[in-house]
Structure 1
Amino acid sequence: MTKEQFSQYSFLLDRTARRVKQYAQQHFKSGAFDVTVDQWLVLRRLGEHDVLSQSELAGLVFKDQPTLTRILDILCKKGYVERTPHPADRRSIQVNLTNQGHEKIKELKPKVATIREKAWENLDQKDFEEFKRILNTIYGNLEQF
């Protein structure tokens, strides 16, 4: 592949990722979801785990600590998340969903699924399999980071 082709494909990948996030954010705002896309990602990851340290959560949502701290501050104020001291490590904070947070996830999952489905329109199973293979290859190429 030439540098020009590589540049074009990288641009397309970045552009598409931005468009997907913009589309979702627009629907989150207009749908009165009460959370942003980034806040949703945090809630969703917390919903997959009982308790996570703040550093574990940062890794799962690909956010740096200061950004995650701001997101968690907002989610705590909204009553969706709570922080507690780690029982074995005073320097560590654990994060978990409140009952209200679990309810918010239940409420939003079908709405988020509808938003995601729009991006996948006009693609068939073969497209999905090839897309998955390509993305997994790219991810694997960078896995050591």
Structure 2
Amino acid sequence: MTLKDVLTRYPGAQTFKFGDSASMSAELLGLVRAGRKTATCGALRDYPDGSTETPMVGRRDIALEWDGRPALVIETLEVTVSRFCDMTEAFALAEGENETLEGWREDHRRYFERNGGFDPEMELLCERFRLIEDLASEE
């Protein structure tokens, strides 16, 4: 299924990629498919006011494979803002990438250092979502 086909089925959907590398993207898509990843976050600085990329409750968006092929359709359930240092264990574990809040902090500190800078006080845009459709099953 092409991206154009998926955008026709989900008008208003935005596209995005999980992670910052092909291997990380594949791992995170796998966690969503397995039901382990039901949340994600990014630096609030990467979402300027009015940005169409900002998640919106109720909107269905398309997660892409690293090469740009459509992978998944998710629906945003909740959007909140939290400082890195105030991240809750419940949200960190809902991201599905770590077994502990400490592991989440270490991995995400390194991620933000690679992607624009890290500050323990930095604000994060936090999104909870549910999987609507796995597009890989239609290939």
TM-score tier, shorter chain, comes to 0.3 to 0.5
**Over alpha carbons, which structure has the higher Rg?**
1
* TM-score where L is the length of structure 1: 0.32
Q: Which has the higher helix share?
A: 1
